[in-house]
Amino acid sequence: MSLLAASPALFAVVTALFGLLIGSFLNVVIHRLPLVLERQWRAQCADVTGQTLPAARGEPLGLVRPRSRCPACQAPIRAIHNIPVLSYLALRGRCASCRAPISLRYPLVELATAAAFAAVAWHFGFGLQAALAIVFTAYLIALTGIDVDRQLLPDALTLPLLWIGLLASLWHAAAFEAAPPVAMRDALIGAASGYLFLWAVFQLFRLITAKEGMGYGDFKLFAAIGAWLGWQMLPLVLILAAVVGAAVGIALIAARRHGRGVPIPFGPYLAGAAWIAMLWGPGIVERYLAVAGLR
């Protein structure tokens, strides 16, 4: 521990290796959590309607069990073939059993998680603040992947993220008489204002257009971001997310890869903007105020 605390570079490297392992697990969460929730929702609907669902085959699906299998041939993936990134390269992106192609997304998520964890470790240094930022980062990556795949931000992730942010702020402030990640008051105001602002935008948009412009998961994610970063960072997060989201949406429509009526998930842009604001938000705000002549 003392060696990691004394060497920021070593801490970043160790954290990156840890990020590869967590990234592998996040791939499982991104793929399986929507399936687990769908099965739960079907069971709840059957209870309400009195229907009987067909008996599920095999071991119940969870985040840990059963073992990972090839989507094409259902062959169990051996541990030697489940090493982050290296196994993908050794197998040349194909299943060891049936040679079906493996999605490039799996190593990309692992590499992105490793890079994000290393950036957090380098920025915050060894300590609890870095640990909390790593937790926040992991949740954001999982939510991004699920929203891209399913246009879903599940309560099973957004609500724990919200409560962890609130509790971490309270405990950290009490233990260290400081405010990383944010003070308890700022976290509470951030959570409430984050949810209410997007909820109000949603209601206004629906009143004007008779359409729903976003889902309730976006409100909860923005509330969680407010709990972690405080209300002061919410305008920056929203501006960054809106600008990047609009630019990507226009580019996709211009390239005719996305229809005008097809919804674009907003969660990934909120998550990316929140991660940027966590690391560099105060500096960005200070620089803007200086350029605008407000400081």
pLDDT of residue 177: 40
Helices (H), the chain: 2-6, 8-49, 86-90, 105-124, 128-150, 155-176, 184-209, 216-229, 234-254, 267-291
Contacts (Cβ under 8 Å, ≥6 apart) of 208:
none
Per-domain boundaries in the chain: 1-125, 127-295
Provide the 3-class DSSP secondary structure of residue 260.
coil
Closest CA to 31 of 139, 114, 150: 150
- Considering the entire predicted model, what is its pTM? 0.90
Provide the 3-class DSSP secondary structure of residue 23.
helix
pLDDT of residue 288: 78
Q: Is 210 left (phi over 0), alpha (psi -120 to 50) or beta?
A: left
Closest CA to 282 of 188, 187, 181: 181
Instruction: Tell me how far the alpha carbon of residue 203 is from its chain's centroid.
Output: 25
The burial class, CB within 10 Å (0-12 / 13-18 / 19+), for 205 is middle
Query: From first to last of its 295 residues, what are the pLDDT tens digits of the chain?
Result: 777 777 889 999 999 999 999 999 999 999 999 988 888 877 778 777 777 766 666 567 777 777 777 777 777 888 887 889 998 888 888 888 888 888 899 999 999 999 999 999 999 989 888 999 999 999 999 999 999 999 999 999 999 999 999 998 877 555 444 345 688 899 999 999 999 999 999 999 888 888 877 889 999 999 999 999 999 999 999 999 998 888 877 776 676 665 566 678 899 999 999 999 999 988 888 887 777 776 6
pLDDT of residue 27: 94
Give pLDDT tens digits for 127-178. 888 999 999 999 999 999 999 999 999 999 999 999 999 998 877 555 444 3
